Chain A
Amino acid sequence: MRISVASGKGGTGKTTVAVNLALSINDAMLIDCDVEGPNSHIFFKGPMMKVKDVCIPSPKFDFDKCTLCGKCAEFCQYNAIAVVGEKILFFEELCHGCGGCKILCPEDAITEVDHQIGIIEKGGKKELTLYHGLLNIGEPFGVPIIRALKQFADDAKTTIFDSPPGTACPAVETMRDTDFCILVTEPTPFGLHDLTLTVDVVREIGTPFGVVVNRDGIGDDRVERYCSDEGIPLLSKIPNDLQIARLYSRGVPIIEGLPEYKATFVGIYDKIREAL
C-alpha cells in the first residue's frame, strides 16, 4: 500500500505524521519527497548514504556544426536557449530536458549530456528504510527527483510518502498513484484555507483521502466543521502539546519520547485500511 502525507500549508506536521506513522506500523518504508527541504532523516540518527545521482538530459552544442539558424531557440518552450549575435546562450537551469532541440536541429549539432540536478540518499534504521532526495541549490525543478524516488517504493511494504508543501507540481507528483492521501492541517484560518486548496487537488487526482488535525486546541473548530460539511473523514487529532513541539525541535519522534502516542498513529493506519 502507498500512503502519501500532504498539506497545502507548510509546517503543519506532515513529517511528524509520516515519520511516526512509519515507525508505528509493521513492514513500512518511508520516502521523503520534499526534495527542496527534506526533514524526515533528522528523526533517524544514522547517516544518509548516496545511492543515486538524478540527472536530466541537457543539450550540448557542437559549434563547428551549428549555423546559428535559431530553430532550437525558437522551439524551446522554456526559453532555455537564445541566439545572441554569433553565439548560442544556453540557460541550463531553465531546461526541462525534453530533447526537442536535439530532434529539431537540422545540422545535427546537438547531442545530450547528463545534467545532475540532485541526489537520492538512503538511511533510516534496521526496521525502517528511508529514502530522500535533495535538489541541488539553485536548481528550480525537483519533479524528476520525486519521480526517481518513487521507483524505490517496495510494494510488498506499506510505503509512506512525505510530500512537499503547496499544491503545485511537486506535491501532485508525490500524491499521484498513491492509494490514500493523509492531509495534515492545523485548526487555524491559514490551515483551513490551504486545506481546501489541497482537497481540490486530491479530488482532481482522484485519490481517497482523510484529514489529521495537528496542534488541536490552538485555534477553533473550523477545520472540523469543514470536514463534516464536506463528508471528509477525520482520521485523528494530535493535541497542541508543548512536549511534542520540544521533541520535534530536537529531532525525536513523538512515539519515542511519548510512547502513549503510538496508539494514535496505529489508529490512523487502521482507519485508512477501513476506508480502503
Chain B
Amino acid sequence: MVKELTIISGKGGCGKTTIAASFAALAENPVIVDADVDAADMHILLHPQIQKKEAFSGLDVAQKDDEKCTDCGKCFENCRYGAIDPDFTLHPDKCEGCAVCAMVCPSDAIRMIERKAGEAYISDTRFGPLVHARLHAGEEASGKLVALVRQRAKELAREKGKEFILIDGPPGTGCTVIASITGVDLVLVVIEPTLSGIHDSKRIIEVARHFGIPALVCINKYDINDENTEHILEFCEVEGIEVVGKIAYDDTATKAMLAEKTVIEFSDGKMAQSIKAIWKKVEKALS
C-alpha cells in the first residue's frame, strides 16, 4: 500500500521545503512531489534531471472574433469576473474559463480555446524520482496542476514498486493546499513560534481536520520565542495532536541552501540530528 505524506504550514517560510528535502534524503525509496507549483523550490536542492515533460492546460479561455461580434452586449452583461469591458473588449487574463459568454453569444463570436497554463515534469534525483511543475505566471487552476502532479506520482509509485510519496505542500489554505492534502495518509504541520505562524497553523490544522486527515506537528526555530513554543505545545496537547519534534534556530538551513544541498547532506550537526529524530517518528506514524 502506497503511503502519502504532505508537509504543510499555513504560513510560508516556516521551513517546509528544508524539512521535505531532508526527508527525501532520509526516506527509503520515495517518490518526491513538489506541490508548491507556483513557487516551487525543491529542485534547487535536488537538481532534477528532467526525464519527461508534459504540457498542462488549465481551464479554457474565451476568445472573441471581432468580425462576428455584433456588439449586442450579452457577454458583458453575463460575465461575472470583469473579463469583458462595457465596450466589449475581452481580457483573457481576467477570464475564469466559465464559458458563459460563449454560451450566450447569439452570433457565435466567442470560442473557448485551450490555454497552456504550465508544465509538469518527471525527473530523476539522487534520492529518487521527483514530480514537479511550473505554473505560468498568474495562471488559474493551480489546484488542478497539483492534482496532476500527484496523479503522476501515484502512477510512478505503482510502476516502480515504491511505497512512499513525499509531498512538499504550498502555503495557505486554498485550492493548492486542498489539492495537496486530500486523500493523503498524514500531514506534518511545520510551525514557527511567531504569532503569525501560530495563527496560520491553527487554520491549516482545521483544514486537515475538515478533510479528515491525521496531523502531526513539528516546531521549527523553537528557541526564537519560548513563550510561543510553550503555547504551541499546550495547544497541541489540548487538540490531541502529537508534537514529533523541535528544531532550534540555526543558520545551517541557509548555508545548506546556498550550497544547494539538503541539511542532512550538508552537515551532521544539531539541525540534521533533530530532523532525523522527527523523520523516525513520522515514519513510524506512517507505518
Contacts and interface: CB of A to CB of B under 8 A. Distances in A.
A137 B173 contact: yes
A160 interface: no
B39 A37 contact: no
A245 B192 CA distance: 11
A44 to B, nearest CB: 12
B11 interface: yes
A100 B98 CA distance: 7
Contact of B100 (A39, A99, A220): A99
B172 interface: yes
Given A166-B39, A249-B193, A11 B257 contact: no
B41 interface: yes
Given A77-B60, A169-B139, A251-B195, A36 B174 contact: yes
Interface stretch (B148-156, B199-207, B235-243, B277-285): B199-207
A123 interface: no
Nearest to B117: A168
Given A141-B175, A204-B137, A75 B13 contact: no
The secondary structure that dominates the B interface is loop
Contacts of A220: 258
A9 B142 CA distance: 16
Interface in A91-126: 96-100, 103-104
Contacts of B140: 168-169
B80 interface: yes
A42 interface: yes
A201 B196 contact: no
A9 B139 contact: no
A95 to B, nearest CB: 10
Interface string A209-242: 0000000001110000000000000000000001
Contacts of A159: none
Contact of A249 (B11, B135, B170, B195): B195
Contacts of A250: 194-195, 225, 228
Interface in A16-70: 34, 36-37, 39, 42, 57
Nearest to A12: B13
A213 to B, nearest CB: 14
B137 A201 contact: yes
A137 B203 CA distance: 7
Interface of B: 10-14, 17, 36-39, 41, 44, 59-60, 78, 80-81, 93, 96-100, 103-104, 135, 137-140, 142-143, 170-178, 192-196, 199-200, 203, 206-207, 210-211, 224-225, 228, 251, 254, 257-258, 260
9 contacts: A10-B13, A37-B10, A96-B96, A100-B98, A140-B174, A189-B257, A201-B137, A218-B251, A246-B225
What 7 A-B pairs come out closest when comparing CB atoms? A10-B12, A11-B13, A98-B98, A140-B175, A36-B172, A249-B225, A37-B200
